[in-house]
C-alpha cells in the first residue's frame, strides 16, 4: 500500500505554492481595526481555552504565542481550524481527547479574519493579516 501511494503521489504534476506577493494585502489602518475587533472576539470565544496571552492551557489547548502553525505564510490551516474545528482520534489511552470546536456557524468570515489577524500579530507573533477573501475561499473549498 505504501509503495502504491508513493507511486501515485509521484505521478501527480508538481505545482508551485501560491506566491506571497499574490496574496491580497490589508492596509495598515484596516489591520489595526481588525486587530481591535479580533481582540474582543478572542476574549469572548478563545481566551478561556488558549489563555489571555495565548499561552495555552495544557493539555486542552495549545499555546498560540510563538506557534508556527499560526504564523506560517499561508493562513489556510488556522482558517480551516477556525471554520471546521479539529479533533484528534480517541484511543484507549486517550478515550476523550480535547478538540477545537468549529466556528463556521457562529462567526462570520469577517470575524474569523479579525480574530486570526489578532492572533497572528499578538504575543510576539509576526504574520500577515488574514483577509475576508482568504476565509471565504476556505469556507467554500474542500477540506483536502
3-state helix, strand, coil in the chain (%, to 5): 50, 5, 50
Who has greater pLDDT, 32 or 23? 32
Q: Give burial (CB, 10 Å; 0-12/13-18/19+) of 54.
A: buried
Residue 26: phi, psi to the nearest 5? -115, 135
pLDDT digits (tens, 9 = 90+) for 72-126: 999 999 999 999 988 877 778 776 777 889 999 999 999 999 999 999 999 999 9
Mean pLDDT of the chain: 87
Which of the 8 DSSP states describes residue 26?
Answer: -
Is the pLDDT at 131 greater than 70, yes or no?
Answer: yes
Amino acid at each position: 500500500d505504501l509503495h502504491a501511494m508513493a507511486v501515485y503521489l509521484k505521478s501527480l504534476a508538481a505545482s508551485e505554492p501560491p506566491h506571497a506577493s499574490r496574496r491580497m494585502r490589508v492596509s495598515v489602518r484596516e489591520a489595526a481595526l481588525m486587530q481591535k475587533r479580533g481582540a474582543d472576539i478572542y476574549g469572548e470565544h478563545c481566551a478561556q481555552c488558549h489563555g489571555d496571552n495565548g499561552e495555552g492551557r495544557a493539555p486542552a489547548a495549545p499555546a498560540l504565542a510563538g506557534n508556527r502553525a499560526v504564523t506560517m505564510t499561508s493562513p489556510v490551516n488556522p482558517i480551516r481550524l477556525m471554520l471546521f474545528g479539529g479533533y484528534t482520534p480517541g484511543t484507549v489511552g486517550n478515550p476523550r481527547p480535547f478538540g477545537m470546536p468549529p466556528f463556521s456557524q457562529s462567526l462570520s468570515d469577517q470575524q474569523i479574519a479579525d480574530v486570526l489577524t489578532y492572533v497572528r500579530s499578538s504575543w510576539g507573533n509576526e504574520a500577515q493579516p488574514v483577509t475576508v477573501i482568504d476565509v471565504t475561499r476556505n469556507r467554500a473549498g474542500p477540506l483536502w
